[in-house]
Amino acid sequence: MTFAAQVLTLYPEMFPGPLGHSLAGRALAEGRWSLDAIQIRDFATDRHRSVDDTPAGGGAGMVLRADVLASAVDHALERSPDAPIIAMTPRGVPLTQQRVRQLAAGPGVTILCGRFEGFDQRLFEARPIEEISIGDYVLSGGETGALVLLDACVRLLPDVMGASSSGDEESFENGLLEYPHYTRPQIWEGRAIPEVLRSGDHAKIRAWREAQAAEITRLRRPDLWERHGGTPDRSPSGARRKT
Ligand code: SAH
């Protein structure tokens, strides 16, 4: 089964962009996923092909019209009826690795990219659209957010990543940030690779990595640590994971 991505955008030439390279690019060329960038302007109905208008109630900027965007969404729905429809918005639910996993396991995704001040609110009332944010900052358009979402999904598709196990231990997969990595040279600028990693004792190495992951998460992301089952002011060695 091919993961089918549709992106509704005013800038289809931005795609596949970075996703045409490296792992995602190879997977795209091999047909492990497909990408259709659809021009929203093609669904405009007036002779100026307008997609936006001034905000009701006044204020700066322009707002994407509900009627034009709904036509574009309906077109995408017809072509890919089972794919969830996601609008990129800063007000959306923050994207998580868990949601990425769910999406990657499904038939694909249809992504709506905003521009200007965003979308006419009635679009979200009239169509089954999930709003997703990629973080607490403001982008100039949804396209870079769509690239982020697709990159995160595509690397999880079967046979896309070289060593398929390398996905399991990474940051967020077990609710923690990842442990630190090292590679040759053995000593660099006077700094040695931690002794335990050269011991060949795999149980000891696993224990060290688990402790490092716990400590880094506790220090850098108390929110993740707490959700994981630790308490922010307790040492990770004394804390147990919730089951
Ligand atoms: N006026 C809006 C910002 C619009 S930014 C507000 O204050 O909330 C223009 C477009 O960029 C948005 O419609 C959205 O598609 C995209 N965008 C901006 N920041 C984003 C974020 N953090 N996550 C996802 N999409 C974002």
Find the 114 Cα to ligand 1 centroid distance in Å. 7
pLDDT at 180: 98
User: Hey, what CATH topology would domain 167-243 get?
Assistant: Trp Operon Repressor; Chain A (1.10.1270)
Average pLDDT over residues 41-67: 98
The tokens for 45 are 């109905």
* The CATH fold of domain 3-154: Alpha/beta knot (3.40.1280)
Best mutation site among 7, 9, 62, 88 for ligand 1 pocket (most ligand atoms within 8 Å of CB): 88
The dihedrals phi and psi of 110, each to the nearest 5 degrees, come to: -115, 125
Is it the case that residue 167 has pLDDT exceeding 80? no
Q: Separation of 142 CA from ligand 1 center, angstroms?
A: 6
Average pLDDT, rounded, for the chain:
93
Among 165, 72, 146, which residue's Cα sits nearest to residue 108?
146
Question: pLDDT per residue over 80-127, tens digit each?
Answer: 999 999 999 999 999 999 999 999 999 999 999 999 999 999 999 999
| Residue 241, pLDDT above cutoff 50 | no
Q: Is 115 in the pocket of ligand 1 (CB under 6 A)?
A: yes
Select from 26, 7, 24, 27 the least CA-distant residue to 15.
7
- Ordered by start, the domain boundaries in the chain are 3-154, 167-243
Q: Tell me: the pLDDT tens digits for 192-235? A: 999 999 999 999 999 999 999 999 999 999 999 999 998 655 44
User: Measuring CA to CA, which residue among 2, 66, 75 is closest to residue 37?
Assistant: 75
CA of 117 to the centre of ligand 1 (A): 7
Q: What is the pLDDT of residue 124?
A: 98
Q: Note the pTM of the prediction, 2 decimals.
A: 0.93
**pLDDT, mean of residues 53-69:** 98
Report how far residue 110's alpha carbon sits from residue 4's, in angstroms, rounded to the nearest whole number. 8
104 CB near ligand 1 (under 6 Å): no
What is the distance in angstroms between the CA of the first residue and the CA of the last residue of the chain? 33
- Give the nearest ligand 1 atom to 91 CA: 8
Are 3-154 and 167-243 equal in CATH topology? no
